[in-house]
């Protein structure tokens, strides 16, 4: 159902943005309403501003006519909701036209961008200039937005794996169209604005991450200098018991600084789903994957894979660090040797984006992964469930047991990964992959997601990121934070026009 004042709002939005940048064609709207799971929300219009001033104009019109607006950056939030707003009747504000790189400093290692700048664009821009620096890349689409991913607190590869922890200087448009800057950026001629995160007084940056309090139109990212020595590693682990001991040993190496980059623990299903699609030809079209078929894969690749990279200032130090890793995993894991890399090889641990992991979203599809993967377009069924876990083998074992057991109850393969984003915290990330063209699979996958979220929360493992499905009930809190956040929302958005329903707002 469209908002009652939509036509008046559309007239004013067209005057502010131009006719071509206010879309109401059914084909465009249908595409924007499609995610990697079932959705019912309807979008009345798509707005495409090209500047901060135009974002302000869009929000002024939205306030005047009480038409809700939902901003997205690149629209590649696959597995979490894509571009679909949480509620019906929200005009979609796409910021992809705001794709300028605004500032770069090689000496101080920072890059300032607008929300339409993608991981591929930033990588190419730095490469063309022969920069010795790189920006952390992610396992998702290279066309994803830097700012969009950071605001969702996405994780990446390298020493800056907690991406939002390495940004500053946000420019934000509030729902009432006021413009604010965070940290030192709010002061005139503040030379330290792109290098000092906190500024003076209360820090506002976190208020605009995973929230509906403002539209971020600029952000500064701190870059990493490429290490002269970088060598990736992959180990395979045969048994769960070996994994937990290996995990504790690697946690200590991360704490002491031997492992500066993020590293990953993938179970067999996750590794298999990146390498190939579901073997319908062997199962006779039946799902889920039978256990005996995984056994053959485990013989070659193990029950778990541990991957990461050693970086150092020279080969001598790098070799010593590698020996520490080898020693820590001795008797627990087998190192895979992929042979020498080609001369032009570029590592994801030095910021090279890749869409290789998108193959997971096509796991249950019956057609091959296309050259240009687009899970929404191709009706891939895919839902992420992501929670934070203390970096100990005991906690990881308990959370992983839930993540393995629950999907099997719904005839889905348990695609499980543990991501070491710091020496203290793991992200447990579960992928529910299915085929949206199979009758009933949308409903079954969503029921699995809700059951998985409930069991993890009941065990004390809370989401670190929520997608459009959210949590099946209101997450329990034991303090007054919800009341405080409600007062903040009412103060900056009394009409409730910005992203209603997002993250509980």
Residue 244 lies in a domain: yes
Same domain, 122 and 21: no
Run of H or E residues at 113: strand 110-113
Largest pairwise CA distance in the chain: 70
Overall number of domains in the chain: 3
Q: Is residue 351, in this structure, part of any structural domain at all?
A: yes
**138 is a domain residue:** yes
CA angle 118, 119, 124 (to 5 degrees): 100
Calpha distance 26→36 (Å, rounded)? 19
Q: Prior bond to 288 cis, omega within 30?
A: yes
- Residues 220 and 289 reside in one and the same domain: no
| Per-residue pLDDT, 1 | 66
Phi-psi region of 82 (alpha: psi -120 to 50; beta: other; left: phi over 0): left
Residue in the block written with tokens 């994994």: 243
Residue partners of 449: CB distance under 8 A and separation at least 6? 383, 385, 432, 469
Say yes or no: 309 and 448 in one domain: yes
In the prediction, which pLDDT does 469 show? 81
**Are residues 366 and 453 both part of a single domain?**
yes
Sheet of strand 46-47: strand arrangement: 22-23, 46-47, 91-94, 69-72
**What is the reported pLDDT for 471?**
74
User: Can you give the three-state secondary structure of 435-466, one letter per residue?
Assistant: ECCCCCHHHHHHHHHHHHHHHHHHCCCCEEEC
Q: Token pair 């005057």 is at which residue?
A: 15
% of residues, the chain, pLDDT over 70: 99
The answer as to whether 61 is a domain residue is: yes
- Is the same domain home to 76 and 125? no
On whether residue 475 sits in a domain, the answer given is no
- Asked if residues 481 and 421 have their Cβ atoms less than 8 Å apart, the reply is no
Average pLDDT over the chain reads 95
- As given in the structure block, the two tokens for residue 177 are 């169209």
- Containing structural domain, residue 126: 101-225
Q: What is the pLDDT of residue 341?
A: 76
Check whether residue 442 and residue 311 sit in a common domain.
Answer: yes
Are residues 410 and 286 part of one domain? yes
Q: Are residues 336 and 448 in the same domain?
A: yes
Q: Output the pLDDT for position 337.
A: 77
Whether residues 220 and 252 share a domain: the answer is no
Please report whether residue 481 resides in a domain.
no
Same domain, 251 and 267: yes
Q: Look up residue 483 and give its two tokens.
A: 């009341």
Domain harbouring 72, CATH code: 3.30.43.10
Residue 1 in any domain: the answer is no
What is the spatial distance between Cα 118 and Cα 115, in angstroms, rounded to a whole number? 8
pLDDT tens for the 505 residues of the chain, in order: 688 899 999 999 999 999 999 999 999 999 999 999 999 999 999 999 999 999 999 999 999 999 999 999 989 999 999 999 999 999 999 999 999 999 999 999 999 999 999 999 999 999 999 999 999 999 999 999 999 999 999 999 999 999 999 999 999 999 999 999 999 999 999 999 999 999 999 999 999 999 999 999 999 999 999 999 999 999 999 999 999 999 999 999 999 999 999 999 999 999 999 999 999 999 999 999 998 888 888 888 899 999 999 999 999 999 999 999 999 999 999 999 766 677 778 999 999 999 999 999 999 999 999 999 999 999 999 999 999 999 999 999 999 999 999 999 999 999 999 999 999 999 999 999 999 999 999 999 999 999 999 999 999 999 999 998 877 778 889 999 999 999 999 999 999 999 999 987 7
* Separation of alpha carbons 12 and 18, rounded Å: 10
- Indicate whether 446 and 413 sit together in one domain: yes
Could you tell me the CATH number of the domain that includes residue 135?
3.30.465.10
Q: Are residues 124 and 157 in the same domain?
A: yes
Q: What is the CATH number of the domain that holds 312?
A: 3.40.462.10
Within-domain flag for 499: yes
């Amino acid at each position: 159902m469209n908002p009652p004042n939509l036509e008046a709002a559309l007239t004013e939005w067209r005057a502010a943005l131009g006719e071509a940048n206010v879309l109401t064609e059914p084909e465009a709207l249908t595409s924007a309403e499609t995610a990697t799971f079932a959705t019912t929300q309807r979008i009345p219009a798509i707005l495409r501003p090209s500047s901060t001033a135009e974002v302000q104009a869009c929000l002024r019109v939205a306030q005047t006519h009480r038409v809700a607006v939902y901003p997205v950056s690149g629209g590649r939030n696959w597995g979490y909701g894509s571009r679909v707003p949480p509620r019906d009747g929200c005009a979609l504000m796409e910021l992809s036209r705001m794709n300028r790189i605004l500032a770069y400093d090689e000496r101080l290692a920072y890059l300032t961008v607008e929300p339409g700048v993608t991981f591929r664009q930033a990588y190419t821009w730095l490469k063309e200039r022969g920069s010795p620096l790189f920006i952390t890349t992610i396992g998702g689409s290279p066309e994803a937005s830097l700012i969009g991913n950071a605001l969702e607190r996405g994780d990446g590869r390298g020493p800056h794996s907690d991406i939002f922890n390495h940004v500053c200087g946000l420019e934000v448009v509030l729902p009432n169209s006021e413009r604010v800057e965070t940290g030192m950026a709010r002061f005139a001629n503040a030379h330290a604005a792109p290098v000092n995160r906190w500024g003076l007084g209360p820090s506002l940056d976190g208020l605009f991450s995973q929230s509906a309090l403002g539209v971020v139109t600029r952000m500064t990212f701190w870059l990493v200098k490429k290490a002269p020595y970088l060598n990736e590693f992959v180990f395979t682990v045969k048994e769960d018991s070996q994994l937990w001991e290996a995990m504790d040993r690697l946690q200590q190496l991360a704490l002491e600084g031997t492992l500066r980059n993020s590293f990953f623990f993938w179970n067999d299903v996750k590794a298999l789903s990146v390498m190939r699609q579901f073997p319908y030809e062997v199962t006779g079209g039946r799902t889920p994957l039978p256990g005996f078929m995984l056994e053959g894969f485990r013989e070659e690749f193990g029950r778990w894979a541990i991957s990461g990279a050693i970086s150092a200032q020279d080969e001598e130090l790098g070799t010593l660090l590698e020996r520490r890793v080898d020693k820590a995993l001795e008797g627990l894991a087998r190192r895979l040797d992929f042979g020498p890399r080609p001369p032009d090889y570029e590592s994801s641990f030095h910021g090279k984006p890749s869409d290789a992991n998108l193959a997971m979203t096509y796991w249950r599809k019956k057609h091959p992964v296309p050259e240009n993967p687009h899970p929404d377009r191709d009706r891939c069924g895919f839902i992420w469930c992501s929670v934070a876990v203390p970096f100990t083998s005991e906690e990881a074992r308990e959370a992983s047991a839930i993540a393995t057991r629950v999907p099997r109850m719904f005839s889905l393969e348990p695609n499980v990964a543990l991501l070491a984003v710091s020496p203290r915290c793991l992200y447990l990330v579960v992928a529910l992959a299915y085929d949206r063209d199979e009758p009933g699979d949308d409903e079954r996958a969503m029921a699995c997601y809700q059951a998985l979220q409930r069991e993890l929360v009941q065990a004390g493992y809370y989401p670190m990121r929520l997608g459009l499905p959210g949590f099946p009930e209101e997450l329990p809190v034991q303090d007054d934070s919800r009341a405080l956040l409600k007062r903040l929302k009412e103060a900056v958005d009394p009409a409730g026009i910005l992203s209603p329903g997002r993250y509980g707002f």
